Structures are given as structure tokens and as C-alpha cells.
Amino acid sequence: MTDKKNSPDISTTDDDLPINHKHRGMMRRLYDWVLHWADTPYGAPALFFIAFMESSFFPIPPDVLQIALSAGKPKRSFYYATISLVGSVTGAFLGYFIGYALWEALHNVFIPHLFSQDTFDKVQKLYANNAFLAIFTAAMTPIPYKVFTIAAGVGQISLLILLSASIVGRGMRFYLVALFLWLFGPIVRKWLEKYFEILAVVFAALLIGGFVLIKYIL
């Protein structure tokens, strides 16, 4: 069973909008709705659906449910990571399609309700420098991945770049969770819920630093 009293308080979204009590209450309800699937027979399909939605518009990351499911069944941790990966990467193509074909009609729905215009403009500038690295970093870290998938469609970034960077970044993120839970089980669940975003940022920074170092050494 999941322990909702000790689950982390979701008081911010992945954008820079002002947070008020009404918004915080809505996020809390969404978080609890995501988490409750771990106590049902439909945890795995719910995980796929949430990972799919989070890549384009849903605010709660699939890690929340993946951690809860894996803590209950540590031996299936990599199975749940695979579901998260497939759902997330598949959902990235929906985000791309929104940006590519529907952005003129839907941009007022996304801005400023899910992310700001300033955030969107910054992502487009990142694509001008290194699209693969930008998508990989967003896929691996708490940076809002949905902004990058939609901006990729608007900027008509190569689908091959979107696919490869998403598989590498999201795969490392979800399988890192799986590894910890497979090794240590429910013992590390609360620690992961509290510190996973910091761990993901540090891990991504080390990887990117390694790529840069290799580039200048070789």
C-alpha cells in the first residue's frame, strides 16, 4: 500500500507561474490520483498512460507511480522502467505533433497555463546550439520535458534527434530509479521521492561534463 501521508508535497509545477493555494490544492489532488493507481490492478497501464501524457501536457511525472509500483514489487523494477520509457517516448511524438501541426490553434492553451512564453523562447534558443543535448538534458532532469517536445515540433527539429535523445535521457532517468529499487527495495523509496530530482541533475551534469571532456581530449 502507498503511504500518502509521507509522500512529498507537490507545491510547484514545472513552469514559472505564481503558485497560489488553489493551484497547490489541484496539484495535490493530481498527485494523489496518480499515486492511487499503485494500489489497483491497473498500475502498469496507468503508468504507461501517465508517462505518455506527461511528455506533452500532464504536470505530474511518471516517476511518482513508477517508484510506488517498484517499491511494492522490486523484482519488477526494470519492467516498470520500460513501461515509463515506452510511454514517455511515445508521448514525445504527440508533443512534437502539437508543436508541428497544432501550435497556432493551441498555443494559448499551453502558454501561460503550463509554461511561460519566456521558457518556450529559451528552449528554442537552446535548439539552435545543440538540439540533441537540449532534449537529452530535459529528458534526464526535472527540466519540463513537455516544453522541449512541443518546441521541437514548432522548430521542426529532426525526429531522429528527438527519438534518440529521448530514449537515452528518459531511459537513464527511469532505469536509474529501477536500479535503486531493484537493489534496495522499499527501503530507498522515501529517499528517492525526496532526492531523486537532485540526483538526476547531478548525474546528468556528470554525463554532460564527461562528454565535453572527451571532446577536448580526443
More confident residue, 27 or 148: 148
pLDDT for 22-39, tens place per residue?
A: 666 787 788 789 889 989
Task: Give the cell for residue 61.
Answer: 511525472
Half-sphere exposure (Cβ direction) of 14: Cα atoms closer than 13 Å: 20
More confident residue, 132 or 144: 132
| 69 neighbors 43 (Cβ within 8 angstroms) | yes
Long-range (24+ apart) CB contacts under 8 A made by 165-168 are 165/131, 165/132, 165/133, 165/134, 165/135, 165/136, 165/139, 166/88, 166/89, 166/92, 166/135, 166/139, 167/85, 167/89, 168/136, 168/139
Q: What is the share, in percent, of the chain residues with pLDDT greater than 90?
A: 45
Specify the 3-state DSSP secondary structure of 115: coil
Q: Is the pLDDT of residue 192 over 60?
A: yes
Q: Which of 12-26, 85-99, 196-210 has the highest mean pLDDT?
A: 85-99
Distance CA 107, CA 143 (A): 20
